Amino acid sequence: MNKNQAKERIENLRRQVEYHAKKYYDDDKPEISDFEYDMLMVELRNLEKDFPEFKSEESLTQKVGGHVKEGFEKVTHEVPLQSLQDVFSIEEVNDYITKINQKAQENEIQNRKYVVETKIDGLSAALEYKSGKFVRGATRGNGTVGEDVTENLKTIKTIPLELKEKIDITVRGEVFISKEDFEKMNQEREENEEELFANARNAAAGSLRQLDSKITEKRPLDIYIFNVQKIEGKEFNSHFEELEYLSKLGFNVNPVRIECKTIEEIENAIQKIGDDREKLTFGIDGAVVKVDDLKFREILGTTAKTPRWAIAYKYPPERKETILKDIICQVGRTGAITPMAILEPVKVAGSTISKTTLHNEDFIKEKDLKIGDTVVIQKAGDVIPEIVEVKKDKRTGNEKEFKMPKKCPVCGAPAIREEGESAVRCTGIECPAKLVRNLIHFVSREAMNIDGLGENIIAQLLDKNLISNIADIYALSFDDIASLKKNGKKFAQNLIDSINKSKENDLYQLITGLGIRNVGVKASKILARKYKTMDKLMEASFEDLSIINDIGPIMANNIREFFLQEQTRDLIKKLKDANVNMELLEEDGQDNRFEGKIFVLTGSLESFTRTEASNIIEKLGGKTSSTVSKKTDYVLAGEEAGSKLTKAQSLGINIISEEDFKKMIK
């Protein structure tokens, strides 16, 4: 490679590395695997070494990746939070230890011990204590400046808010999510049709870097402390001694730390951590080898990016070949139909893999997967098995194309894929796979508002076979409900009263409760006012629906297809038989004082929930919006109103208080 070619390749690699570093560190949404990123960095580092004239301090080989997220206060680290030099072979580890031992001999260092620890796959953070009390916590950021995430860190139960000694100390740890908790999180996100976390590290990083600590509190974050950054009033000779002291103070210290003296012992420790990788409750992406003698560390010093007294050995991802025996489809709680690969069982990274998700139709096409293919399996982030490659050269011609079903494999209702979406969905209102989700939505406050019929009670009713569809709610007896709770007579009567009351709801609430795709409360009110009865709505043509303001062709198609289904008509008949109201209750001469006006709600209100306030505005002919613009007429500002209030002030929009609002609706 000549100089011009090297320069061009270096510039190209820097662009790639910077892009992927941003996706990884700043956005917490990586697009390539850690191994692929590491290989780009290795190539860049080697080229910069071979062509030093192109070396730059701005290269990510010379500085830590990551920036401070907008919305967080900046924290300057007194002691920089550096990253580690990565190595990818035992030979590189041996070379490093040989050089360090030579340095130790030159400086007459007697303690030539090393500590080998797990490299936890998480987000680095510094915790600062004054007189034993936790006062501040920050992310690593770019190593010099991080983000103040004190309130978020306080939600992590394993972080002591007060130490067992009144001491000034700053420690460094790794925030992570355990393998089990990560699997549960992604399972819940899949059921709720939310984007899955790529790996546990990014789930932890995204959770810690939330601007709202209430969101962080709901995430199962944990932390292991692995270093003393700064301490006053105490001195230590060795790193291992520091770790023991941190445990006594009450910190949750990295549990895997092995003392070693020789290269052979270090090799064995790395091998042992690799062998035990599957048994660990937390994810790792390597083993860290550290010099134990703290005075020797000072002699060795650091570069701008990495300490010279430690390296990280990165384990290569394990890949195995197997056969894609079949592709089956599963239906989630929201109706999303997900293809699942059935594999010839194969052991990868200590686990036997027999199936894995194929995500959606596009993934199958992108990988060009066929039933009968030989495929390569890898465990992503040590947790999720995935198909990374098809061995097309091993095809025999007997492989079969897979096509997504046109009908739901559970209930037989039409399965559709809407424009702009990747998921194919079941459209059946009575589909057993969607039943729990449909029931929860039907009884919710914005729909039929059946107070007391929460998710837990619904689960019990289903377990006892007391309900099998939405209409069965109206056939429940007092005794059915009372049997769910000890001394449940009062609860049963309250729930029966709430169920009976819901029969008298307005038509728009029933339309909302049916859960038609893309049809929320606003659209339901428009439809109820337009058609007046459920029968007329059911017979409305696509042409009539599509010309209604705020409905449009996509929603119109969803509504028409929904009411053409046999399942839907069967449910409506059952609800009619149960005497559920099917007509508009609003009078023709209704009050439209807010007609043409757009309101934005911000902050917390005392006398209303936001839903209640929105309902009042819409009942009086107005509209609500989630964003402030020049078209906004009023901003209803409650307590702790935020950026929306500021924007409204800058645009000169009419800002009203809760008291003003009460006067307007009186």
Active-site amino acid positions: 119
Q: How far is CA 7 from CA 2, 59, 65, 206, 536, in A?
A: 9, 13, 22, 35, 71
Q: Could you count the other beta carbons within 10 Å of the beta carbon of residue 519? A: 19
Task: With beta carbons less than 8 A apart as the criterion, state whether 281 and 179 touch.
Answer: yes
What letter would DSSP give residue 330? E
Task: With beta carbons less than 8 A apart as the criterion, state whether 176 and 200 touch.
Answer: yes
Q: How far is CA 426 from CA 12, 509, 554, in A?
A: 45, 23, 17
**344: its two tokens:** 């010839």
Rounded to whole angstroms, the Cα distance separating 156 from 509 reads: 41
Q: Could you count the other beta carbons within 10 Å of the beta carbon of residue 308? A: 17
**188: its two tokens:** 């819940």
- Reported in sequence order, the residue ranges of 406-517 that DSSP labels E, i.e. its strands, are 415-416, 424-426
DSSP string, 263-290: HHHHHHHHHHHHHTGGGSSS-EEEEEEE
Q: Is the dihedral of CA 148, 154, 155, 158 positive or negative?
A: positive
Interior/surface letters 496-510, b for 16+ CB within 10 angstroms, e for the rest: bebbeebeebbbbbb
- Please measure the distance between the N-terminal and C-terminal CA atoms of the chain and give it in whole angstroms: 80
Three-state SS sequence of 137-180: EEECCCCCEEEECHHHHCCCCCCCCECCCCCCEEEEEEEEECHH
Interior/surface letters 401-423, b for 16+ CB within 10 angstroms, e for the rest: ebeeeeebebbebbbbeeeeeeb
